Amino acid sequence: MSPSRLGHAMPARWRAVLCVLTLVALGVGGAAGGPFKPGPAAAAAPGVVPTAVVTPAPTPDAGTVLVQVTGVEPQVLQPAQDLLVTATIRNDSAKVLESPRATLRISRFRLASTTQLETWAGSAVAADAGKAVGSVDIPGPLAPGMSVQTTLTVPSTAFGLLNTPDAWGPRGLAVELTDGGRRVGLDRTFLLWLPDETAPAPTPVSVLVPVVGPASTPVATTTPVPAPTPSPTATASADSSATDPELDALTGATGRLRAVIDATGHHAEVSWAVDPSLVEAAAAGGSSSTSWLADLTQRSARRDVLALPWGDPDLAAIAHADRPDLLTLARDASAGSAATVFGGTPQTQLMWAADDVPDATTAALTVRSGARALVVGPDALAPEREAAPTRSGTVAVRTDAGELTALVPDSALTAALTDADAVDPGATPATAAQRILAETAVAAHDRASAGQHLLAALPRDWDPEVPIVQAQLDALATAPWVELTSVTGLIGRAGDDSARAPLPTSARSAQELSPAHVVALGDARASVAAFATVVPVPDTLLAGLDRAILSPLSVAWRDAPSRRGALVDTVLADANTRRTGLSVLVSPKFTAVASATQIRLTVHNALPQDATVQVDLRPRKACLTVPDGPTLATVAAESDAIVSIDVQANANCDVDVDVYLLASDGTVVASPAKFSARLAPTIENVGTLAVGALLALGLVVGIIRTVRRGQTANRGARVAALAAAAPHASAEEKTP
C-alpha cells in the first residue's frame, strides 16, 4: 500500500496522534529536554506569520547591524498570554537597508544546563536561531547610523510548547533582522515557559554584596606615606584623611560605592557585608560620603547586614604568620562599632577570604576566631565527581580547629550579576534579567541541585551597571521558582553530602603581607599595650593604635605591595614613638667597698601622667646581686624620681650592670642604661679583722703586764697581816 493510500485509510484520530508524535520527535512541540545544537535555519511552522527564508551562510553584512532586545513581557510566559518583545535596531553598516524586517525566533528545546545556556547565548550571528514565530516589516529604507525600535507580539499558542509539568523552563529566543531575505543582525535571549499549575518548589537564593572602600593610611603616623593608587578591593581606615577625596568620588553620583547601594538597596532580601572602617571613614568624609552613609543607613533597615572584621583584613596573611590576636583585634573593633547601619549589635559571624581558594590554615584561623562561616570563591571545594555536579551554597569543612561552614557562590549566578555584558556581550536590562531567570530555572529543574540553597557573592571591586542589576534582582524577586532570602539563613543551613575536593593544606599568595611584617605589627601592638599599663589612664596612649596596626593588613593593599611596605614601616615607627617618655639616669661608674650597699639612680618621666615602673638591675657577674629583685617606683608626670636599690657585693670584681625599667608584666618600657661597678668588699673585712686583732693583742698585753708587775701594795699588806696572825692563833689552840 502506498503511503498516500495508507494515510487515507487511517482513521482521523490516528492521523492526529501520528502528527503529534511527529511534532514531538522534531522538537516543535516544546521538548522537555535535550541539548541545543546550532544548525541551519528552518522554515516557519504552520500557523505563524511567514517570514523570508534566511541564508544560513555568513554574508559580508552579517553582524554589522546592531540588534538589541530591550524588553520581554511577560518575563515568564504562561498559556493564554501574548509575548511582547521590543528590540532596538541600529544600522552600523555602510549600506542602506532597503527592506529591513524583524523576525522573532524560538528554539523549542528546553535548555537543561548552564552549558546549553552559554552555547545558545554565545552562538554566532549566522548560526541557527530556531524557528520563526512572528515577524514585522520595519519602515525603510534604514540609512547608515539610523536606529529604530520595533515590537513583535506573538500569542503563546504560536510557540507550540507543551503544557506538561516537566516542560517548564528556558528556551532560546532571538530577534533577527534581515534585509532582502539576508540576515544582517541578531540578538539572542531566553524565553521562560511556565505552563499552568506546574510551578516548582521555590529554590532559596541569597545574594551577598561586599561594601568595602578604598585603601588608606592612618592619620596618627609620624612619617608620611605615599597615598595608594585607587584599589578596587580596598578598605578604608577610620582615621584616614588622605583618602577623603577618593572616598568622596567613590560615594558620589557616578562612584562605585554609590552604584552598589543604588543597584541593591531596593531589595531588602539582598545581604550586605560591610566594613566598619568604611562606615567610620564616610562619617568623617565630605558631603557625598556623609550623604551616601545616610542612604546606606536608611536602606539597612530590615536588611541582613553583616559586619566584616575591621579594615577587611587579609585572613591568609594573619593565618600564615600565626597571629590570631590580630584577627581578634579586628573582630572586637567591629563588634564595638556604634554605627546604626549594623542595628543594635553588629553580626560578626562572617569572614571573607581574600583568595578564591583559601588554604586549610586560613579556614582553621576562622574557626579559632569564633566566626561561623567563611566566604570562598566559586572554584573552591569543587565536587570530586564531575558527573554529579552540585550547586549548594554551603559546604561543611573540617579543620584542625573544628568544623566550619564554607559559603560557596554559584559561578553562573555570580558571573551574571557581576558583569552581565561579559556573560552576554551587549546585554540590556531585559536580556540580563532573562539570562538570570534561565540560570535559576536550570538549577531548580536539575534534580541534582533541586532544593539546594544557591548563593551569589559579588567581588570586592564590584562596579555594577545599576539598571541591569536592578532588572535582574526584580526578576529574581518575582520568579515563581526563586525565593530570595538572607545569607544569615544560609549560614545555618546544612550543605549537601557530596564529596568535595579538600582545601590545600597551605598556599601562600605572593600578594599577601609577609609573615615577618605581620608578626612585627602584632608585637608592636602588644608592646604599646604593655607600655600603657604604667600609667593610670592607658587609653590616652592607645588612642588610634588598633586602627593603625590593622590598616596595613587590609586586603586592599595586595594591589600596592610597595606602598604597603612603606605603611608598615610608618606604623611601626609610630608604635615605637608611643612607647617613649620614660628613661633612667645613672652615674657611669660606681665603687662599693662594703658588702651591703645602695645604688641610687634617677628615673625620668616625660609623660603627662604619673608612671609606675619596676627598676630592675641586672649585673653581668655573680659578684653583685640584688637581694630584693626589681624595685617598684612611681614617678610623677613630667618629673624625676630618685630610686635607691639595695645590692650585695659578694667578692672583689669589676662588673657591668644593666638597668631596665619594666611594666608590671615584665615588658621593657625604656631603653636600658648601663654602668660599671668596682666592688671591694674585702677592704671592709680586713679593717674589721685588724681592729679585732688589736683589741685582742691589748688584752693579752695587759694580762702579761699584770702578772709581771706582781701584787699591788694593798694586796701585800693584807697578806702580811694574815701571816702575823697565824702563829698567835696556833698558840691559843695549844693552851689547855
What confidence category does residue 376 fall into, taking pLDDT thresholds of 50, 70 and 90? very high
pLDDT above 50 (res 573): yes
CA distance 718 to 11: 181
Higher pLDDT, 571 or 592: 571
31-197: CATH, from 2.60.40.10, 2.40.50.140, 3.20.20.190, 3.30.1300.10: 2.60.40.10
pLDDT above 70 (res 33): no
Please state the domain extents for the chain: 31-197, 205-491, 582-679, 688-731
What size, in residues, is the chain? 736
Of 354-363, 440-449, 647-656, the one with minimum mean pLDDT is: 440-449
Of 14-18, 389-393, 394-398, 562-566, the one with minimum mean pLDDT is: 14-18
What confidence category does residue 239 fall into, taking pLDDT thresholds of 50, 70 and 90? very low
What confidence category does residue 130 fall into, taking pLDDT thresholds of 50, 70 and 90? very high
Tell me the C-alpha to C-alpha distance, in Å, between residue 383 and each of 106, 446, 501: 34, 16, 6
Tell me the C-alpha to C-alpha distance, in Å, between residue 637 and each of 583, 602, 603, 634: 13, 14, 11, 10
Instruction: Return mean pLDDT, the chain.
Output: 83
Of 22-36, 326-340, 709-723, the one with minimum mean pLDDT is: 22-36
Listed in sequence order, the residues at least 6 apart from 209 whose beta carbon sits closer than 8 Å to its beta carbon are 260, 264, 270, 271, 272, 273, 458, 462
pLDDT above 50 (res 695): yes
Q: What is the pLDDT of residue 681?
A: 78
Higher pLDDT, 536 or 156: 536
Beta-bridge partners for 662: 614, 668
Query: Mean pLDDT, to the nearest integer, of 635-660?
Result: 93
Q: What is the pLDDT of residue 450?
A: 63
Listed in sequence order, the residues at least 6 apart from 194 whose beta carbon sits closer than 8 Å to its beta carbon are 76, 77, 78, 168, 480
Query: Mean pLDDT, to the nearest integer, of 293-303?
Result: 93
Query: Mean pLDDT, to the nearest integer, of 712-728?
Result: 55
Higher pLDDT, 184 or 3: 184
pLDDT above 90 (res 18): no
Of 74-78, 544-548, 593-597, 693-697, the one with minimum mean pLDDT is: 693-697
pLDDT above 60 (res 715): no
Q: Which CATH class is domain 205-491?
A: alpha beta
Fold assignment, 582-679:
Immunoglobulin-like (2.60.40)
pLDDT above 80 (res 694): no
pLDDT above 70 (res 213): yes
Higher pLDDT, 39 or 112: 112
Q: How far apart are the first and last CA of the chain?
A: 203
Domains 205-491 and 582-679 share a fold: no
**Closest residue by Cα to residue 661 from 618, 624, 607:** 618
pLDDT above 70 (res 306): yes
Q: CB–CB of 556/312 below 8 Å?
A: yes
**Closest residue by Cα to residue 345 from 356, 353, 354, 334:** 334
What confidence category does residue 491 fall into, taking pLDDT thresholds of 50, 70 and 90? confident
What confidence category does residue 591 fall into, taking pLDDT thresholds of 50, 70 and 90? confident
Q: CB–CB of 13/20 below 8 Å?
A: no
Q: What is the pLDDT of residue 235?
A: 37
Q: What is the pLDDT of residue 140?
A: 80
Query: Omega before 74 cis (within 30°)?
Result: yes
Of 402-411, 548-557, 592-601, the one with minimum mean pLDDT is: 592-601
